[in-house]
Chain A
């Protein structure tokens, strides 16, 4: 049973269809990258998962159950923009929001203290939120998301405002949560982080699903007609093949669509080139994103 199952959901505001028949799932102990350009419909999808917005059609299931209010305690949500009471202290904020997720205040207080030690904010625990830096606020917001030990964690731009040390700290926490069996949706524009952390990726653009699968599947689908070589000897001239770059016995060759990677390799060997390394060039997720988002705009 999947942690989250989004089935064919649509949402229209006025005459604008913000989400159009979108389906995806989040498995147990999985990190799903939810990506897409600005205004693609990511936040609307997230809000529909949390039942903050009702879809016009389609259904959302959480742990196999149709969404209901009792399931809200199973979700931890980190919004893109910080959402904390400015006049409350860090500890008060954490205990209050944990209470709204059904955690008793004494337990919430104890766990909040432990989390604050973990992220090195323990000495600031009585500081008002208004006095915190952007990065500290983001860390507190992350702790508010995790304090009630939710089964599903939705993180919208979790690295906003963090310095490299804290980025790594949050990445470690995310992976730790996954290893504890949590299911995580990671929405971010940082494609490197998606490649690093996510098991699968779901890309939405103009309200529609444009990409969905594991990173290896997606990259396989976007294999370019290019190979990277390390070789000895001279590269021959071949019909339908162009040497894009060549330097110090390394080269990148692009070829026409009627040829295959295998044919290129065979031809090079036949012409006496000694191949030390042969790699099918695959685009990065960033390149795929730009290609898909740019192409549809």
Chain B
């Protein structure tokens, strides 16, 4: 095995054995599985008794047109001839409440509601059922059954997002697509920071325990950086693939048990491929910069503080997520898409609303160029600062040293 390969293997195995890495990697799937388990247990224990949930509401029709639509979902309406009869039924506990629809209702719209419960306002479910009961009876003889049915469900919204040429965008619509993008963006951010953080930690440790001196007497700085960066990239990739696979399995289980939104979730391959490409490039950008910081910082603590600026700039798209979603063609969104430190996350957030191909290609190109430039810069910084201990150089000093080094 060549020297870069040995550094790669050593770094990979060392990081995979780190307790912190194992805990972080397993935490998400385990927490997800626990949440599912808790949901199932709770839903089994607190299985609602559907017969008890039906609310019986009495009514006195003094207009004479309200006979139909009495069986609503959770509300059953029972007719009484007089308010007294309804009142007696209420007192006897046969109904929860009753309505009196007076003869002048069609003019005033006023209905009397009588209940023995103390409440701030009428329950929304009951009110909705009463409204359906009233509207259904009012329209019964006035319009066709189709029109009546449409009155109850007037809107099924179908959103079509168009691109700049007026053609339907390839982006996925709906909450489902956004959810996938959010989750991917979050995992990407976590994984990039975890992997590049370990790179920084490893370098700082090797500086502190003086192993660096032995390493540099055996390998070139480029072999060292390449081995380490590739190893930590592999670590990040392993982590994100584990998360994606466990996420996929959990969603499949959740769609069977919880249903609803989870049942509609799918993992489009183009999103996964783009996510992995941006992960790899995004990671490398952060890794070479973290390597530079690792070389300059005398201790792990200093390195952590210095890397904060990278962490913060990487998190900007997350903080601006609502803005990015609602303003996908805004100049700020485009800058964030193209700026190498924010590109991976911004593209993930935007992918749902469709990112123009040129923006994706340009951002990938800029990412690749940044990695190349960053690697050259990191190699230089490595040579100059890797064996300096004790003092953190200032920015001016670093720039001067880089100039002197040519």
Interface residues of A (CB under 8 A from B): 14, 47, 50, 52-54, 69, 72-73, 75, 77, 79, 81-87, 96-97, 99-102, 144
Contact = CB atoms under 8 A, between A and B. Distances in A.
Contact of B217 (A14, A52, A85, A87): A52
Given A50-B217, A100-B6, 15 more contacts: A14-B397, A53-B387, A54-B383, A69-B219, A72-B217, A72-B218, A72-B219, A81-B210, A82-B210, A83-B212, A83-B213, A85-B211, A87-B14, A100-B7, A100-B219
B209 A83 contact: yes
Contacts of A87: 14
Contacts of B7: 100
A55 B121 CA distance: 84
Contact of B214 (A54, A73, A97, A99): A97
B10 A96 contact: yes
Of all A-B residue pairs in the complex, the 7 with the closest CB atoms, nearest first, are A83-B210, A100-B218, A77-B217, A83-B214, A52-B216, A83-B211, A81-B210
Interface in B369-406: 383, 387, 397, 400, 405
Contact of A79 (B213, B218, B220): B213
Contacts, number: 62
Contacts of A100: 3, 6-7, 215, 218-219
A50 B3 CA distance: 17
Interface string B216-250: 11111001000000000000000000000000000
B143 interface: no
Nearest to A104: B1
Given A14-B397, A72-B217, A75-B217, A96 B6 contact: yes
Contacts of B215: 100
25 contacts: A14-B397, A50-B216, A52-B213, A52-B216, A52-B217, A54-B383, A54-B405, A75-B217, A77-B213, A79-B213, A81-B213, A82-B209, A83-B209, A83-B210, A83-B212, A83-B213, A83-B214, A84-B211, A84-B214, A85-B14, A86-B209, A87-B14, A100-B3, A100-B215, A100-B218
B88 to A, nearest CB: 83
A147 to B, nearest CB: 12
A97 B10 CA distance: 11
A86 B405 CA distance: 33
Interface string B56-75: 00000000000000000000
Interface in B1-33: 1, 3, 6-7, 10, 14
A130 to B, nearest CB: 10
B6 A99 contact: yes
Nearest to A99: B6
Contacts of B223: 69
Please classify how large the interface on chain B is, using the bins under 10, 10 to 19, 20 to 34, 35 or more.
20 to 34
A75 B219 CA distance: 11
A50 B383 CA distance: 13
Contacts of A101: 218
Nearest to B5: A99
Nearest to B220: A69
B3 A79 contact: no
A293 to B, nearest CB: 23
Contacts of B383: 53-54
A77 B214 contact: yes
Nearest to A85: B211
Nearest to B7: A100
A158 to B, nearest CB: 14
Task: Choose among B10, B211, B214 the residue with the greatest number of A CB atoms under 10 Å from its CB.
Answer: B214
Task: Choose among A50, A85, A86 the residue with the greatest number of B CB atoms under 10 Å from its CB.
Answer: A85
Given A47-B387, A99-B1, A84 B209 contact: yes
Nearest to B388: A13
Nearest to A101: B218
Contacts of B387: 47, 52-53
Contacts of B219: 69, 72, 100
Interface in B298-352: none
Contacts of B397: 14
B100 to A, nearest CB: 82
A128 B200 CA distance: 24
B192 to A, nearest CB: 26
A86 B217 CA distance: 19
B102 to A, nearest CB: 85
Nearest to B400: A14
Contacts of A102: 3
A208 B246 CA distance: 64
A85 B1 contact: no
Contacts of B217: 50, 52, 72, 75, 77
A81 B3 CA distance: 24
Nearest to B218: A100
A257 B280 CA distance: 77
Nearest to B384: A53
Contacts of B214: 77, 79, 83-84, 97, 144
A101 B212 CA distance: 14
Contacts of B220: 69, 72
Contacts of A73: 218
A45 to B, nearest CB: 13
B60 to A, nearest CB: 83
A85 to B, nearest CB: 6
Task: Choose among A52, A73, A79 the residue with the greatest number of B CB atoms under 10 Å from its CB.
Answer: A52
Contact of A85 (B209, B213, B216): B209
B234 to A, nearest CB: 18
Contacts of B10: 96
A292 B35 CA distance: 75
A177 B383 CA distance: 31
